[in-house]
């Protein structure tokens, strides 16, 4: 690795270690140049930003609760617990629902299922 790239990676890691991104840090403990994801929907899972009620509340002052009655509509709630999205999870192995989301995010079938849910969630959010 070039000296400049090493310095950049070191500084980047220092900033990452001192940043607030605790949700994203569940999945990415170390920074890497080779790990970039370009999926609009899945990036919302990895960052916990975007269409989720808790973010909409914090950023725009909108209602942050889930339509199912849960106080906070978070990415983890939507993907693993919410009754509204239970039908979308019917084909998922039941053991997934007992796991921490950090154990699932890099598993391709979970990624596909999450993207499907996020697309529907975004569509329903735009319609209301």
Q: Are residues 30 and 43 in the same domain?
A: no
Same domain for 56 and 117? yes
- pLDDT by residue (tens digit) across 35-87? 666 788 988 888 888 889 998 898 898 888 999 999 989 999 999 999 999 99
Residue 82 Rama label (left phi>0; alpha psi -120 to 50; beta)? beta
Q: Do 54 and 30 share a structural domain?
A: no
Mean pLDDT of 16-45: 79
Residue ranges making up the domain that contains 11: 1-34
Q: Is 104 exposed, middle or buried (0-12, 13-18, 19+ CB in 10 A)?
A: buried
Residue 7, pLDDT above cutoff 60 = yes
Let me know whether 26 and 58 are in one domain: no
Residue 74 CA, distance from chain mean position: 9
Q: What domain count does the chain have? A: 2
In whole angstroms, give the CA distance from residue 20 to residue 94: 32
Q: Looking at the structure, tell me whether residues 17 and 47 fall in a common domain.
A: no
Residues 44 and 103 in one domain: yes
**Do 27 and 42 lie in a common domain?**
no
């Amino acid at each position: 690795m070039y000296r400049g790239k090493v310095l950049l990676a070191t500084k980047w890691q220092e900033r990452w270690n001192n940043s607030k991104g605790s949700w994203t840090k569940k999945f990415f403990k170390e920074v890497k140049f080779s790990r970039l994801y370009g999926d609009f929907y899945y990036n919302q899972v990895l960052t916990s930003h975007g269409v989720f009620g808790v973010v909409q509340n914090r950023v725009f002052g909108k209602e942050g609760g889930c339509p199912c009655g849960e106080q906070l509509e978070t990415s983890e709630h939507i993907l693993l617990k919410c009754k509204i999205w239970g039908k979308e999870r019917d084909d998922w192995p039941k053991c997934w629902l007992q796991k921490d989301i950090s154990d699932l995010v890099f598993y391709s079938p979970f990624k596909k299922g999450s993207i499907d849910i996020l697309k529907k969630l975004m569509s329903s959010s735009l319609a209301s």
